Amino acid sequence: MASFVISGCGLKPLPRIYPKPRSVQNSFCSSNLRISRPNQFCSSSIGINQKRNWGLGVSAPLRIQPLEEENEEFDPAAPPPFKLSDIKAAIPKHCWVKDPWRSVGYVVRDVVAVLGMAAASAYFNSWLVWPLYWFAQSTMFWALFVLGHDCGHGSFSNNPKLNSVFGHFLHSSILVPYHGWRISHRTHHQNHGHVENDESWHPMPEKIYNSLDSMSKKLRFTLPFPVLAYPIYLWTRSPGKKGSHYHPDSDLFVPAERKDIITSTVCWTAMAALLVGLSFVMGPVQLLKLYGIPYLGFVVWLDIVTYLHHHGHEDKLPWYRGKEWSYLRGGLTTLDRDYGLINNIHHDIGTHVIHHLFPQIPHYNLIEATEAAKGVLGKYYREPKKSGPLPLHLLGDLVRSMKKDHYVSDTGDIVYYQTDPQLNGGQKS
C-alpha cells in the first residue's frame, strides 16, 4: 500500500579517492589505551556496492595500500589518520545546497500518502486491509518524523522560520514536541559516542546499571519493551538523567530556550486535544485503528532505527570519555543501515555516518555525500549489510545486541559494552 509513495531519485556521483595523509602523528596503533581491545574488528570493503543503490552504479579505482598495511589489524578506536575537514573537502559542494521547494515537495508527498491511505482504509473498513494499513501508515509517520528531524537540523532550508513552521506541523502531528526534541537531539549530535554526555541510546556505566532493580533491567533489554520507549524518554529521559522534553525548566534547556519549549508543548497539547475530539466524532475504536496503532508502529520504527545506528554491529565498537573523545571519533562509531524499499520512503536516514558528522546536508544528498567520503573514511566506514525488499535482517542484529550490550565500565577513557549474563538466565561472573 505504501509502494506508490516511493520516488525515484537517481543521482550518480563519481567517488573521489583521497590520498593517504603523510602525517604519522595519529597512528592506527595507540599504546596508551587503558583497556584491552577485542581481537577482531570489522574490515569493511571500500569498494562500491553493486546490488543496492548505495553505489549508484558507478565504478571506482581501487585504493592500493602497501603490503604491510594489509596485514595490520584494524583498530576502530585508534585516532583516524584524517581530519573532519578532510571528509568535508571530499564531499561535492552541491551536496550542501538546501532546496526548500524540494523539501516542501517531500512534505506534500508524505502528507498526501498519509491522508490517502487513511481515507481508503476507513472506506473499505476490512480486516484484510487494516494490518497492511497499520504497517504502511506507521512507516509514513516515521517518514514525517524524519522530515521534521531535518527541520530541526536546519537541513530543510536556510530559513529558520520556515524550518520551525514545518517542524512544528510535522512533529506535532505525530505527538513529538518539536523544539524539545530538536534541542535534545542537537545535544546527541554534539556528544555522539561519549558515555556520559551523549543524549540518546548511550550506554549506562556499570554503577548506574547495578542501581536498577531487576524489573527495570528486564524492561530495558527485553523486547518488545525497548522499542516502545520513545514516549517515556520524552517525559523522563534515560536512566541517570533528569528532565522532560515538555518542561521549559528541564535540565535539557537553557533559559533562552524557554519560549521555544512552551511553544512546542502548546502545539503538542493542541494535537492531543484534537485527537480527543476526533474520538468523540468517529469513536475511540476507529481512531485507534486510524491513528493509535500507526502511532505505536511509528514509535517502534523510531526506536529500532535510532538504536541500530549506534548498536548491533558484529564487532564491538568503542565509546569514549575524557581526552579520548572527539567529535570525529565519536561520529565514526555510528553505523549506516540498509532498509531495502524503505530507504526511499523514510528519506535515506539509514545513511547515518555522514549525517552524524554533517547534519546540515539535506537527506536527498546523503547517499552521494557518503559515496564521495568513502575514500577518506577507509575502514572507519562499515558497509551496511544488503537488505531484501524489507529489512528483516536487522531484527537479528537488534536481538543480538539487546542480549549482549548492557553496560560499560565505570572507568577507562575507551570502553566497550559488557554483558550481564543474569539477564539471560546465567550467573553473573
Q: What are phi and psi of 185, to 5 degrees?
A: -70, -35
User: CA 416, CA 91: separation in Å to the nearest integer?
Assistant: 31
Strand partners, 194: 320
Closest by alpha carbon to 371, among 58, 8, 64, 21?
A: 58
pLDDT digits over 308-355, tens only? 999 999 888 999 999 999 999 999 999 999 999 999 999 999 999 999
Instruction: Give yes or no for residue 5 having a pLDDT over 80.
Output: no
pTM: 0.82
Question: What average pLDDT does this structure show over 174-198?
Answer: 96
Q: Could you give the C-alpha distances from 250 to 54, 100, 127, 183, 261, in angstroms and in order?
A: 40, 32, 44, 12, 10
> How far is 322 from 329, CA to CA, in rounded Å?
12
pLDDT for residue 425: 59
Res 149 pLDDT > 70: yes
pLDDT tier, 182 (very low <50, low <70, confident <90, very high otherwise):
very high
